Amino acid sequence: MKLIIDQSLDHEDIEITIKCKLVDAELEKLIAQIRLYGFSITGKKNGATYPLRLEDIYYFESIDDKSFAYCEKDVYECSLKLYELEEQFAKADFVRISKSCILNIMKLSSVRALLNGRFEVLLHNGEKLIINRHYVQNFKKKFNF
């Protein structure tokens, strides 16, 4: 793969061109990441609405039919349901790890196996999450484990 960057003050906007023989699974993932660049969702906290960049979100969690986005230090309520978030970000770095949680694998510090086929992940912010047995296989595929 060859990467060419043409930086100039004459350019008004970012333009990305991909030249290839065939779009394979890895390239599809890269294209999905590029499409999500700068993409944000809205989150609510203390009556105010904030734009949340995907790269700042550690994980999504559903509690009592409400969805929440967990960032490094703050938690925001999302209007989208967990299954909608999962569908929307399926080709990005997000993977479902339990019935109520979708994880951003780019925020992982480490992974370790637990008893009964479960895994524990340590996030960059020090939080620990459990990957339930049912979701381990998908996690392994997404994480290339």
Mean local confidence (pLDDT), 4-8: 85
3-state secondary structure of 109: strand
Residue 36: per-residue pLDDT: 65
Q: Which of 51, 54, 14 is nearest to 36 (CA)?
A: 54
Element (H, E) at 60: strand 59-63
**Mean pLDDT, range 125-133, rounded to an integer:** 96
Find the helix or strand (DSSP H, E) in which 93 lies: none
- How do the domains of the chain map onto residue ranges? 25-143
Q: Which fold has domain 25-143?
A: OB fold (Dihydrolipoamide Acetyltransferase, E2P) (2.40.50)
Confidence (pTM): 0.76
Quick: pLDDT tens for 56-80.
999 999 999 999 999 999 999 999 9
Beta-carbon contacts of 59 under 8 Å, excluding residues fewer than 6 positions away, are: 69, 70, 97, 101, 102, 103, 104, 107, 123, 129
